[in-house]
A and B are shown apart, each in its own frame.
Chain A
């Protein structure tokens, strides 16, 4: 066989693997987005691109753009400042309760934004814990938003940076010390450069998540603070100005696309040639006052910022005597819901299972194609493309579904599949990100060894790759499950009124006045939190630190 012949066959395999994910993204992402843009920019059969300049020139829109950018930058900086010490502590220090801390840190990331929003409201809002203790209210300031963003993205930094940090060979620093470097010098010259791409990647992820923040800003921002995402939602659902919403979507697209290109670049750099070791051997007992103070500081931060809001949430859900709010969930009140709110738990679980299956199939195929060593620039570009639904506003996805998939040839309006499809779109990038590093880490020569022993390419995959990535597959499925369980921005548009998911039910309860509704929202949030946390703890048992970056 000639080298050229091999190239052609390799490309064919790659395209075959990519066909399904590509079709999925074309139909359920590109098309709806195109439909929104067309509906916004096209009137009377003509395009009006000038609308972009008009919209961006509006003072209130410029204010939204400015706020979106600076709050995202501030949130990212604050998250790095607070989470990098935790990355070090969890990677390099060995102390009792380390596994528990790791799990606690990760829980907020998989919690629905609505839950976190109302938890912070319960902590720092009107009648919240701080208000009652000291009369302090933060819900009218930007601090509530920034702190909630730290709450969510703490895990992104700890996981991405700490995961790598725990696997960096400490002997590299020791070698630098033997060559005359001071401890700080060795850290700065050896460890920091090795970590830099991971820190950059984490910072970009946090920036992306906070730039497109919806639920948190919606609940904590009040009338004062509005991000692009909230503004798109407001324009579509309150003002019904689709044209402006479409323009804002385009602006968001451009920004997110730029960030994702940079992200894909840093991810690739991170996957190159670092000597990694078993994380079990790199952690040491804390030594000296400095390390103990750092550990104490991290524990205090986690307690105040991550645990306290959730504790307050649970506490508020129990305010009514005899689990009153929980018992109220099982009754139909005839007003807010057609069915008992607790029915949403069952609906959510069904949707989440279906979404997980779709996300794992689509994401798994894409990861398998992307992991091939001969993957060209085009295929790697697809990597960034897959991340797009994650970064582009979930509201866009949901609204796009609503207007693009409601008429022939594809009328899914009545299909229960609509919600799982949207959720899978949001979940699939997580599957890719979890699977890809593991698939890329499978030694090529292990596959060759199997081939020489008589295994066909398909059997090589089944016998060599699958056993090695099975665990990552389970972890990816778990993340997809948790993500779809908590998905709000897209689902709020397309969930049928008689069948709300948990987050949608929470939001609906919160939007209605009265202590009972508020209490029920807290109770339902608590149930959701417990389900997500349970899923995460199962994953935590399964995962090794090599599986993925979240």
Chain B
């Protein structure tokens, strides 16, 4: 459906997109995940035809899009801050793309009604966009982008500015909607929770390059490298030397799964893989801080020697700040990266 071949965009001398290759299949929902400045938005703009390429090519359904201006590409783009037309009401915003495509008035009215129903805003036709809440603007922007039935729908930080509870509800709605419509979707976000909840496949970007691509589960379970692991929120990432099923790390000798890659590696220890035991057993640490995470408590441990270590433990078992505890490690929650 969408194919990017060594797409490169430079701003000044800096490559914002650096030879990016990406394939998206029909009906697939792909989420590009990365920190700000990693080139995510530029990727969308390049596909939309809003950003000229310095090298490479973008193809849609097998056709090279070089020289095709944005308004003839037939893709939809939902902007980060929605960019609803301020001087038009809700219905006129949604109908805009239909008008541009020469759809007859009666059909437009029917389709607008249908779309507003679909995004959960029936009867909002005549409302002014200035009076809409953030969530409502998001829904109208989605309806507007969907109206001309784009071959590919792109979303730039679709839920970025909304508050948390609304965001979580809308992620579910979006996921259901895309499943029902069978739309091909390319979304970008900096929020891993959003990406994992929305996507069939997650693409992690770093400095204009793709760092990892895979299903949410694959990416979560086996981050490709230290950058991806840290970006996903893992703090326990250290260099280690692996020999057999043992890794020599700053936290001492840790067990690793059978068949792990050997030699000088980077080690990821999931917080769930750090068990707290009485002091003087395992690695002796002082509790430096604890933060409440809802389902569990994240305990930050300071070993006598070496970097800090994060452990997840149940609420009632959590030690107090300043306590001395021991830490033991579970091979199943340790990943050898690279």
Partner of A454, one of B45, B86, B148: B148
Does chain B have a CB within 8 A of A222? no
Does chain A have a CB within 8 A of B242? no
Does chain A have a CB within 8 A of B87? yes
For window 49-69 of B, CB contacts with A under 8 Å fall at 49-50, 52-54, 66-69
User: B45 CB to closest chain A CB, in angstroms?
Assistant: 8
Q: Across the interface, do B52 and A468 meet the contact criterion of CB distance under 8 Å? A: no
Partner of A445, one of B53, B79, B87, B147: B79
Query: A residues within 8 A CB of B76?
Result: 452-453
Does chain A have a CB within 8 A of B70? yes
- Report the Cα distance A5→B67, complex, angstroms: 9
Does chain A have a CB within 8 A of B43? no
- Report the Cα distance A449→B88, complex, angstroms: 14
Contacts from A to B (Cβ < 8 Å): 1-3, 5-6, 443, 445-446, 448-457, 459-460, 463-464, 467-468
Q: Across the interface, do A468 and B96 meet the contact criterion of CB distance under 8 Å? A: no
User: A364 CB to closest chain B CB, in angstroms?
Assistant: 19
Q: Per-residue 0/1 for B72-107: is the Cβ within 8 Å of any A Cβ (1 yes, 0 no)?
A: 111111010101011110000000110011000000
The residue of chain B having its C-beta at the shortest distance from the C-beta of A4 within the complex is B52
- Report the Cα distance A445→B77, complex, angstroms: 11
Q: Across the interface, do B85 and A451 meet the contact criterion of CB distance under 8 Å? A: no
Partner of B71, one of A3, A455, A467: A455
- Report the Cα distance A459→B79, complex, angstroms: 20
Q: Across the interface, do A2 and B54 meet the contact criterion of CB distance under 8 Å? A: yes
Partner of B83, one of A2, A445, A454, A457: A445
Given contacts A446-B83, A463-B96, contact A3 B70 (CB under 8 A): no
Q: Across the interface, do B97 and A454 meet the contact criterion of CB distance under 8 Å? A: yes
List 26 A-B pairs, Cβ < 8 Å: A1-B53, A2-B54, A2-B66, A445-B79, A445-B81, A446-B83, A448-B45, A449-B85, A450-B96, A450-B100, A451-B49, A451-B69, A451-B71, A452-B48, A452-B50, A452-B73, A452-B77, A453-B100, A453-B145, A453-B148, A454-B97, A455-B71, A456-B71, A459-B100, A464-B85, A467-B87
User: A462 CB to closest chain B CB, in angstroms?
Assistant: 11
User: B85 CB to closest chain A CB, in angstroms?
Assistant: 7
Does chain A have a CB within 8 A of B144? yes
- Report the Cα distance A463→B75, complex, angstroms: 19
The residue of chain A having its C-beta at the shortest distance from the C-beta of B156 within the complex is A445
Q: Across the interface, do A6 and B52 meet the contact criterion of CB distance under 8 Å? A: yes
Q: Across the interface, do A453 and B79 meet the contact criterion of CB distance under 8 Å? A: no
Q: Across the interface, do A452 and B67 meet the contact criterion of CB distance under 8 Å? A: no
Given contacts A443-B83, A459-B100, A464-B85, contact A451 B50 (CB under 8 A): yes
Query: A residues within 8 A CB of B50?
Result: 448, 451-452
Given contacts A3-B52, A5-B52, A445-B83, contact A452 B70 (CB under 8 A): yes
Query: B residues within 8 A CB of A468?
Result: 86-87
The residue of chain B having its C-beta at the shortest distance from the C-beta of A470 within the complex is B87
- Report the Cα distance A2→B52, complex, angstroms: 5
The residue of chain A having its C-beta at the shortest distance from the C-beta of B48 within the complex is A452
User: A530 CB to closest chain B CB, in angstroms?
Assistant: 34
Query: B residues within 8 A CB of A463?
Result: 85, 96
User: B49 CB to closest chain A CB, in angstroms?
Assistant: 8
State the main secondary structure of chain A at its contact with B: helix
How many pairs of A and B residues are in contact by the CB < 8 Å rule? 84
The residue of chain B having its C-beta at the shortest distance from the C-beta of A454 within the complex is B100
- Report the Cα distance A468→B83, complex, angstroms: 14
Query: B residues within 8 A CB of A464?
Result: 85
User: A467 CB to closest chain B CB, in angstroms?
Assistant: 5
Partner of A449, one of B49, B54, B72, B79: B79
User: B188 CB to closest chain A CB, in angstroms?
Assistant: 15
* Among B54, B69, B74, B88, residue most surrounded by chain A Cβ atoms (within 10 Å): B69
Q: Across the interface, do A453 and B97 meet the contact criterion of CB distance under 8 Å? A: yes
* Among B72, B96, B147, residue most surrounded by chain A Cβ atoms (within 10 Å): B96
Q: Across the interface, do B53 and A2 meet the contact criterion of CB distance under 8 Å? A: yes
Given contacts A452-B70, A454-B100, A454-B101, contact A446 B85 (CB under 8 A): yes
Q: Across the interface, do B71 and A452 meet the contact criterion of CB distance under 8 Å? A: yes
Query: A residues within 8 A CB of B144?
Result: 453
Query: B residues within 8 A CB of A6?
Result: 52
Partner of A453, one of B67, B88, B96: B96
User: A278 CB to closest chain B CB, in angstroms?
Assistant: 11
The residue of chain B having its C-beta at the shortest distance from the C-beta of A451 within the complex is B70
Query: A residues within 8 A CB of B67?
Result: 1, 5
- Report the Cα distance A62→B35, complex, angstroms: 66
For window 91-148 of B, CB contacts with A under 8 Å fall at 96-97, 100-101, 144-145, 147-148
- Report the Cα distance A448→B50, complex, angstroms: 7
The residue of chain A having its C-beta at the shortest distance from the C-beta of B84 within the complex is A449
Query: A residues within 8 A CB of B79?
Result: 445, 448-449
